[in-house]
Amino acid sequence: MAIQIYSQKSNAWRDAYNPLRGMSLPKLVNLLEAGERGAFADLQWFYHYMERSDAMIHAVIQRRLSAFLGCDWDIRVSSEVGSAERRVPSAEKMTGDKVLAEEQVAFLREAYERVENFRDAAGFLFSGFFRGFSHLEKHLDDSGLVTRLEPVEQWFWVRDGLFGAWEYNQNGVSGRTRGTEIDPESFIVFEAPPLNRILSLAYLRKTLDERDWDGYLEVFGIPSMFLVGPPNASATKEKEYQEIAERIISDGRGYLPNGSDLKYVNADGTKPPFMERIDYLDRQITLAATGGLLTMLAEPGSGTLAGNAHADTFFQIARSDAAVLSGIMQEQFDGPLLREYFPGEPVLAYFEFAPPAADQVSRVVRDAVELAKAGVQIDLAELSEKTGYRLKRVGDSGKLGAPSAEGSAERGVRSAECRK
């Protein structure tokens, strides 16, 4: 039974602590260096605030997260099942593998469906791409199956050095690199190069630029106005003219003595560089978070072409994120369960996010047809794994694409009965 660390969280003091106050480049560098030593509490708390404070950073995170969460999940059968006849020419062996694979598929599907907060857990696991790591604690029922994957926020974790073992810092104490030891088998742990390390520097520079821009507008946004009085005015007249100037400034109209003039204090006439600088930093954020220079909003006049490219970029990223997190779930969720409930048996089923897109499936099938024309044999189970479909054999051949005089292979691909 998991120890349910989540119920022991105690960091109420952090609720009243805003790490953005007084943040400077030297202070941020100190936080990043502390993170390299394994003291994550203050750094991760800063990341938490940063992600909710900058429009561009918030947007790229939400777009990547929504693209990932839009992926479906399924339990797949390994292609090793269909290739059994190549290894052992025995129908009994091949049938046994298929039965075992079906049992493992049913078992894993039930195990995942038992997790009541699976979508939220997957979203938290995804946060490791930006924060560098994420932990999900396994909560088990009496049968030993997982009922919840409870997120444990990043500021509760420490490690002794860059590659030390993960330990739990219950109160989120600043500066610590040692905490309570944990049982790694009770957690799903995802580690990745932290994108927020790059984004935090861009965020701070943007914040400083915006502060300077605000100061610039305070001085030059509403131009200061001065009254130049007529020559040889006495001190008494100067006082009178001062009163006139104040009335003019207050309501924008009034009487000026002959010879008077108004002067405005403006900038030197050049365009302030703040917008260009902020646009540059936004592009750096987009480059780091999406791997491309696409902006979050389509450029003026770009039309549908840029919109489609924008959508394709996030679709490709979602497939990459899904592949990485699928591997984590296969290793740390599927593996322990299958070893416990199917001891000594080969692993013939696995979990996967994001079934292949329809256009990719079409390409795979077209390639199979072209290879069949060239007389190249394709294993049916391997093709089934690539497409995500359950393919039924047509004819006597155990291979999809086995050449024949009547072209039965090509007809077999076209007439395959596919279903999810």
Q: What is the DSSP string of 355-379?
A: PPPHHHHHHHHHHHHHHHHTT--EE
Query: Which residues, 6+ apart, have CB-to-CB distance to 216 below 8 Å?
Result: 267, 272, 274
Whether the Cβ atoms of residue 192 and residue 288 lie closer than 8 Å to each other = no
User: For 1, how many CA atoms within 13 A lie in the half-sphere containing its CB?
Assistant: 4
The two three-digit tokens of residue 259, written as one number = 């010879």
Res 405: pLDDT: 36
- What CA–CA distance (Å, rounded) separates 346 from 83? 14
Q: Which pLDDT does position 71 carry in this prediction?
A: 86
What is the rounded distance in angstroms from the CA atom of residue 84 to the CA atom of residue 94?
5
> Cα(20)–Cα(244) distance, rounded to whole angstroms?
45
Q: Which has the higher per-residue pLDDT, 414 or 169?
A: 169
Which of 145-154, 178-187, 218-227, 404-413 is least confident?
404-413
Largest CA distance in the chain: 117
Q: Where are the beta strands (DSSP E) in 89-175?
A: 133-140, 146-152, 157-159, 166-168
For residue 9, name the pLDDT band (cuts at 50, 70, 90): low
Q: How far apart are CA 194 and CA 127, in angstroms?
A: 10
The fraction of the chain above a pLDDT of 90, given in percent, is 42
Q: Output the pLDDT for position 409.
A: 37
Position with higher pLDDT, 404 vs 269: 269
- Averaged over 158-171, what is the pLDDT? 92
> pTM, whole model, 2 decimals?
0.72
Q: Does pLDDT of 158 surpass 70?
A: yes
Average of pLDDT values for 291-300? 55
**Distance between CA 235 and CA 225 in Å, rounded?**
21
The confidence band for 401, taking pLDDT boundaries of 50, 70 and 90, is very low
